[in-house]
Structures are given as C-alpha cells and as structure tokens.
C-alpha cells in the first residue's frame, strides 16, 4: 500500500492556490456531499464545532474516495492531541492561538517522530500507517505532514515573521474573529477596516518568508483581495452558514404565509 501524498503540501510547492470550505457540521453524509463539490480542501473544525477524534475519523472515511484534501483545525496544540489526529491519518493540521516562536517550535516537534521530534510511535493501531500496511511508514511519515499555525492575536502578529520562519512550519492561517477580539473589536470579522488591513499586512509578511498563508472569510470580494495579495490557502465560507442562508432564503421566498 502506498503512502498517501499531502496534496496541500504539493500544491504549495508547485505554486498552486488552494480553495477550501470550513466545516463544522459533524455528519459524514454532509462531509461526503461537500467532498464532491469541487473544493480543493475541507477544513474539519474541532475547536469550536462539536467534533472529536471519533467523529473526525468518520469524516475522514467519508471523504477518502474524493479528490479533496482533509485538514483538521485542532482544539489545542498539546502533544497528545496532535498525536491522536496524526494517528488518524490527518496530514495537515491547523493549530490555534500560536503567539510565539517557542510555541511553534514545540508544535513542529510534536508532529515529528524521534529523534527529530516527540510524536508517540505506533503503527499497528493507527489508520495513518494503514495498520502496518504502508511500508516504512515511520521513516516516511514526517515528509507528508504539513503544520499550519493559526495566528489570531495582536501578540502573535508582533511575532509573525519569526513564527513563520520556524523550520517545519509550512504556513500561517489567520483567525479573523479572535484577531478582531484581540484588537478590542469583539464580534467583528474582516469586514472591519482595521482587521482587514491587519490581515493584508500579515499575508504580505508571511509571503515574504516563502511560507504558505491564508485565512477564513465569509465575503467573496474580500477573499479575492486576499488571493490577489498572495494568499495561498483560503477557506471561502462555512458549511453551517451556507446551509442557514440557503434555508432562510428559501423560506423567505414563500413568506408571508397565512
């Protein structure tokens, strides 16, 4: 059995922008439906959506037959959490609330096997190794792991260039909601001019390091601006928002009702 290739990592190396959808719905049928919709990437959220290791396993299985790359945004960057999702076969992780170089270095270590890192070693019980069916998995796994750190605070922005330059960090993903809150603009997103400008500066800073960079937006026009300024990985919307809006629009089309 062949070692799966990391499509997002390959795309960045080849200079191809990747467009994704942020996913908070935990149902595998929905994930499979979305996997055939034409996105390059689906981001399964475990920080703010009711996902856990078992539900993400089902999501991965549901999309495995489709040409879409699954990414998981973790609930935290602890070594134990990282180990669990890597063992599931997740090859690209987004880790929230990264603010320092030391944090980024610890995260890199947690995604690598010893002696280069601190990832726990197992193959017989791990889907990532296809339960020992991938030859030399332990030797080859590190090369297919992609770590994206989520910078979403004023402190993180202050350390942005140094964080992006950490060896083993493949990209920086900006979190607009927490960034806005950190700027004293709780409840705002990138529709606020100050947040939007901070994201544009951040994208330019990361691109100058040669690393991947992206963010999440609910606005198509702003998404195109980020892409024009050099974003390489954009999440263009949220599955829950798409469903809620479509349902509300359909209901409104038949209102008022007696």
Annotated domain spans of the chain:
7-249
- Can you tell me the mean pLDDT for 11-18? 97
| CA separation for the pair 187, 180 (Å, rounded) | 7
**7-249 has CATH 3.20.20.60 classification:** yes
% of the chain exceeding 70 in pLDDT: 99
Residue 48 annotated as catalytic = yes
**Mean pLDDT across 111-120:** 97
pLDDT value of position 255: 85
Share of the chain above pLDDT 90, in %: 98
Q: Which of 48, 69, 192, 196 is catalytic?
A: 48
Across the chain, what does the average pLDDT equal?
97
Q: What is the pTM of this model?
A: 0.96
Residue 160: partners with Cβ closer than 8 Å, 6 or more residues away: 151, 172, 202, 205, 206
> Using CB atoms within 10 A of its CB, is residue 14 exposed (0-12), middle (13-18) or buried (19+)?
exposed
Examine the pLDDT at 208 and tell me if it is beyond 90: yes
Determine the pLDDT at residue 258.
Answer: 62
pLDDT at 257 over 80: no
User: Count of alpha carbons within 13 Å of 236, Cβ hemisphere only?
Assistant: 20
């Amino acid at each position: 059995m062949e070692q799966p290739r990391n499509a997002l990592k390959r795309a960045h190396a080849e200079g191809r922008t990747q467009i994704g959808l942020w996913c908070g719905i935990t149902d595998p049928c929905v994930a499979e439906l979305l996997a055939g919709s034409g996105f390059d990437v689906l981001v399964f959220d475990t920080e703010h959506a009711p996902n856990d290791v078992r539900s993400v396993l089902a999501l991965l299985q549901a999309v495995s037959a489709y040409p879409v790359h699954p990414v998981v945004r973790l609930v935290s960057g602890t070594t134990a959490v990282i180990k669990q999702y890597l063992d599931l076969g997740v090859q690209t992780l987004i880790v929230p609330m990264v603010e320092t170089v030391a944090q980024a270095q610890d995260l890199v270590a947690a995604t690598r096997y010893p002696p280069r890192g601190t990832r726990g070693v197992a193959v017989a019980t791990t889907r990532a190794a296809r339960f020992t069916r991938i030859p030399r998995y332990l030797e080859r796994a590190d090369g297919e792991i992609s770590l994206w750190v989520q910078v979403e605070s004023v402190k993180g922005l202050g350390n942005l260039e140094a964080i992006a330059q950490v060896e083993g960090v493949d990209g920086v993903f900006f979190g607009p909601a927490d960034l806005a809150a950190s700027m004293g603009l709780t409840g705002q997103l990138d529709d606020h001019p100050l947040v939007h400008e901070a994201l544009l500066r951040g994208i330019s800073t990361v691109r100058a390091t040669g690393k991947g960079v992206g963010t999440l937006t609910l606005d198509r026009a702003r998404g195109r601006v980020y892409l024009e300024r050099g974003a390489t990985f954009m999440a263009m919307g949220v599955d829950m928002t798409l469903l809620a809006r479509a349902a509300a629009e359909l209901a409104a089309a038949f209102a008022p009702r007696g």
